[in-house]
Amino acid sequence: MSREPNIIYVGRKLAMNYAMAIITGFSGSNTKEITLKARGQAISTAVDAVEIARHRFMKDLSIGKITIGTEEMPPREGESRSRNVSMMEITLIIP
C-alpha cells in the first residue's frame, strides 16, 4: 500500500501481491473505494491484480472508474530529453 489512504501503487511485484493488497485494503477498515495506480509496463500487472481480486476472492467487487493518460517523466541520468509514459488508474468499489 502507500502512505496515501486507499491508493495502491503497482510496480514490479507479482499480480497476486497486489490482489492481496486490494483484499487487505477492503477488509482492514470501512473502506468502500480503493484506487490502483500504474505506469508503463506495470499497467498489465494492475489489470491482472484487479481481475484476480474480482474473480477469485471478492465476487461483489466492481470497477468504478478507469482513467488513462500520459505522464511526462524527467530524463534519466545520461539522457537529454524527458519521456512520455502511459499511466492508468483503476478505482474499485465494494457495495
Which domains does the chain possess? 7-93 (3.30.110.20)
Global pTM?
A: 0.87
Buried b (16+ CB within 10 A) or exposed e, 54-63: beeebeebee
pLDDT score for 95: 85
Indicate the burial class of 76 (C-beta count within 10 angstroms; 0-12, 13-18, 19 or more).
Answer: exposed
pLDDT digits (tens, 9 = 90+) for 47-78: 999 999 999 999 999 999 999 999 998 988 88
Beta-sheet pairing, 7-9 with 62-73: unpaired
The CA distance from 70 to 83, in Å, is 10
In whole angstroms, what is the distance from residue 94 CA to residue 68 CA? 22
